[in-house]
């Protein structure tokens, strides 16, 4: 029987577990829909106990389908949000997810007092409605009794690590862009004073580098899961880094950037020297890369959730599963999430728009315009990154869409290497497990664990290329024209909500 490395990924949409053998072969994968998510208007939370139970159930199912010997378990999950626990390690209410929009108005007030600018000078990242420190401040201001019970502020992977091992730990890549200095690896206590937090950095768990942030699986869970007691449990980076590693960033030849279209859309480039970044927007993140060097990522709030909104607008749920090209003059600005946008535009006021509608506009054209909009934001993000002519590694659900992938390559003027298995984050943390448990080299990880892309799409020439470049230029022009009015639209939305309540 083979030795096995188990992996666990608790994402916004699905919760997955996998087992890999020591040669990087995926033996078993199990998954279930995230049953913990609770969305009500601006309030987007997760029940922490349900999140725990979902993760353990998926992991147990995975273990039951294997016959090898477990040598380790690596954990990842969605990277942002506020998962508070008390001094006993129990949840203090529900977790605020990265999609929660309740702190949006707070972000606006802080921005008006230049507080966010001060925080950005300390951390190099401008806080948004998804930033843990801002969500903690919202809790302090709006639910003070609950805030006083908080002993540690976690993210989902730290919560699951606590559940699995009984230990409160953290690794720096997920924390420093909020609470510290990614250059020095130290927390910045001044953040508390700048934001007005009574307690902030003191609630952050002790940090240990990836590979050293490890503890043994508890006896009770080991028996229930069918795993060895004391099995090494490693905390991996957030699911973004994990997915990028799994897609081959830094491991596959000629791939120096990445785009992932999941619930959110995230674009990134690998850099050796952070000074190479030409024009980093406030919402972009620079982090140490788990396999060496640094990477700069442009995380957005608006990814494939856009198609849920399109389905609601058009009454055509089938269009969220795939759309043939339906070229038109319709331009969509895909800023539908209540938190606004994070990057490449960084504002809580970002609003969606459809420009060019006529009575002849079809649902198919709206669905395709949504895909074009995501491609154009990817193009803007990659154009703002460091120089580099490498290919884009593409992952997430849209990587399986042939038409989307082709248009991505044509619009971005780069080859696109795509992976359609949908298990990039699991493969990424599995690779890190091999690195730290087996001593595997980067060459071995690239050859055996990651392997070649499923296929490569190259930029088209001719009419489609001309259309893509002209429409991209107009897309940017229209965003630049409307952006100065987003704050007014937010104010109007608040006014209209008040009028609706008064007239109810």
**Whole-angstrom distance, CA of residue 407 vs CA of residue 72:** 40
CB 60 within 8 A of CB 421: no
CB 335 within 8 A of CB 350: yes
**Whole-angstrom distance, CA of residue 123 vs CA of residue 183:** 9
pTM of the entire structure? Answer: 0.86
Q: Which two tokens stand for residue 358?
A: 């006529």
Same domain for 311 and 452, yes or no, is no
Same domain for 215 and 256, yes or no, is no
Same domain for 31 and 7, yes or no, is yes
Q: What is the CATH number of the domain that holds 69?
A: 3.30.420.40
CA atoms within 13 A on the CB side of 488: 4
pLDDT tens-digit readout, 470-494: 999 999 999 999 999 999 998 898 8
Same domain for 433 and 390, yes or no, is yes
Torsion sign (Cα): 398, 402, 403, 408: positive
Find, among 302, 178, 279, the residue nearest to 238 by Cα. 178
**Whole-angstrom distance, CA of residue 418 vs CA of residue 412:** 14
Percent of the chain with pLDDT over 90: 64
CB 348 within 8 A of CB 229: no
Number of separate domains in the chain = 3
Could you tell me if residue 481 is inside a domain? Answer: yes
Could you tell me if residue 370 is inside a domain? Answer: yes
Q: Which of helix, strand or coil describes residue 430?
A: helix
Same domain for 106 and 8, yes or no, is yes
Could you tell me if residue 104 is inside a domain? Answer: yes
Same domain for 447 and 487, yes or no, is no
Instruction: Please give the chain's pLDDT, 504 residues, in tens.
Output: 689 999 999 988 899 999 999 999 999 999 999 999 998 888 999 999 999 999 999 999 999 999 989 999 999 998 789 999 999 999 999 999 988 989 988 988 998 888 999 998 898 888 888 899 999 999 999 999 999 999 999 999 999 999 999 999 999 988 888 999 887 889 999 999 999 999 999 999 999 999 999 999 999 999 999 999 999 999 999 888 998 999 998 888 888 899 999 888 999 988 877 766 666 778 888 888 888 888 888 988 888 889 989 999 889 888 877 778 999 999 999 999 887 888 899 888 899 999 999 999 999 999 999 999 999 999 999 998 866 678 999 998 888 899 999 999 999 999 999 887 778 889 999 999 999 999 999 999 999 999 888 889 999 999 999 999 999 999 999 999 999 999 999 889 888 877 766 665
Could you tell me if residue 464 is inside a domain? Answer: no
In the listed set 184, 215, 239, which residue is the last one of a domain according to the structure? 239
**Whole-angstrom distance, CA of residue 496 vs CA of residue 307:** 26
**Whole-angstrom distance, CA of residue 14 vs CA of residue 37:** 10
Same domain for 180 and 281, yes or no, is no
Residue 449 DSSP one-character state: I
Could you tell me if residue 442 is inside a domain? Answer: yes
pLDDT of residue 230: 96
Same domain for 145 and 193, yes or no, is yes
Same domain for 358 and 439, yes or no, is no
Number of neighbours of residue 276 by Cβ within 10 angstroms: 14
CB 44 within 8 A of CB 37: yes
In the listed set 239, 259, 294, which residue is the last one of a domain according to the structure? 239
Could you tell me if residue 462 is inside a domain? Answer: no
Same domain for 317 and 407, yes or no, is no
Helix (H) / strand (E) containing 181: strand 180-181
Q: Which domain holds residue 59?
A: 3-239
Find, among 92, 206, 83, 204, the residue nearest to 148 by Cα. 92
Output the CA angle 312-317-321, nearest 5 degrees. 130
Mean pLDDT across the chain: 91
Same domain for 233 and 365, yes or no, is no
Could you tell me if residue 463 is inside a domain? Answer: no
Same domain for 309 and 451, yes or no, is no
Sequence-ordered alpha helix ranges (H) in 100-131: 104-112, 115-123
pLDDT tens-digit readout, 117-174: 999 889 888 888 889 999 999 999 999 999 999 999 999 999 999 999 999 999 998 8
CA 465, distance to chain mean position in Å, is: 30
CA atoms within 13 A on the CB side of 79: 27
Find, among 342, 457, 354, 404, the residue nearest to 103 by Cα. 342
In the listed set 186, 213, 239, which residue is the last one of a domain according to the structure? 239
């Amino acid at each position: 029987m083979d030795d096995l490395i188990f992996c666990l990924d608790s994402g916004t949409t699905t919760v997955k577990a996998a087992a890999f053998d020591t040669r990087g072969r995926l033996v078993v994968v199990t998954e279930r829909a995230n049953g913990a998510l609770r969305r009500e208007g601006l309030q987007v939370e997760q029940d922490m106990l349900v999140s725990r139970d979902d993760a353990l159930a998926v992991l147990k199912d995975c273990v039951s389908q294997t016959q090898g010997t477990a040598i380790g378990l690596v954990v990842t999950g969605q990277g942002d949000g506020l998962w508070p626990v008390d001094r006993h390690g129990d949840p203090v209410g529900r977790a605020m997810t990265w999609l929660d929009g309740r702190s949006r108005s707070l972000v606006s007030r802080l921005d008006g007092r230049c507080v966010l600018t001060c925080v950005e000078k300390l951390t190099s990242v401008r806080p948004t409605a998804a930033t843990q420190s801002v969500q903690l401040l919202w809790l302090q201001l709006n639910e003070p009794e609950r805030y006083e019970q908080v002993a540690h502020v976690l993210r989902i992977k730290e919560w699951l690590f606590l559940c699995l091992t009984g230990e409160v730990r953290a690794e720096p890549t997920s924390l420093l862009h909020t609470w510290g200095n990614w250059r020095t690896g130290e927390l910045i206590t001044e953040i508390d004073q700048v934001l007005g937090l009574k307690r902030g950095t003191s609630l952050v768990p002790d940090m240990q580098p990836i590979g050293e942030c490890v503890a043994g699986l508890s006896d009770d869970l080991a028996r229930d899961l069918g795993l060895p007691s004391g099995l090494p449990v490693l905390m991996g980076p957030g699911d973004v880094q994990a997915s990028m590693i799994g897609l081959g960033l830094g491991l596959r030849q000629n791939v120096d950037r990445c785009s992932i279209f999941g619930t959110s859309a995230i674009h990134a480039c690998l850099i050796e020297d952070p000074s190479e970044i030409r024009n980093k927007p406030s919402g972009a993140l620079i982090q140490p890369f788990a396999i060496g060097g640094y990477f700069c990522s442009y995380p957005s709030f608006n990814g494939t959730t856009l198609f849920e909104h399109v389905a609601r607008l058009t009454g055509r749920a089938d269009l969220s599963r795939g759309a043939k090209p339906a070229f038109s003059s319709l331009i969509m600005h895909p800023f539908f999430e209540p938190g606004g946008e994070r990057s490449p535009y960084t504002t809580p006021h970002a609003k969606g728009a459809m420009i060019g509608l006529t009575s002849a506009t079809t649902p198919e054209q709206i669905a395709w315009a949504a895909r074009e909009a995501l491609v154009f934001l990817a193009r803007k993000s990659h154009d703002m990154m460091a120089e580099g002519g490498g290919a884009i590694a593409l992952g997430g659900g849209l990587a399986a869409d042939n038409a989307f992938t082709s248009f991505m390559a044509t619009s971005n003027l780069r080859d696109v290497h795509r992976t359609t298995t949908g298990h990039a984050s699991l493969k990424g943390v599995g690779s890190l497990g091999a690195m730290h448990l087996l001593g595997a080299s980067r060459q071995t990880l690239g050859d055996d664990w990651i392997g070649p892309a499923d296929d490569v799409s190259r930029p088209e020439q001719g009419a489609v290329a001309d259309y893509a470049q002209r429409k991209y230029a107009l897309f940017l022009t229209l965003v630049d024209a409307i952006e100065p009015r987003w704050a007014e639209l937010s104010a109007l939305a608040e006014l209209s909500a008040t009028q609706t309540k008064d007239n109810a």
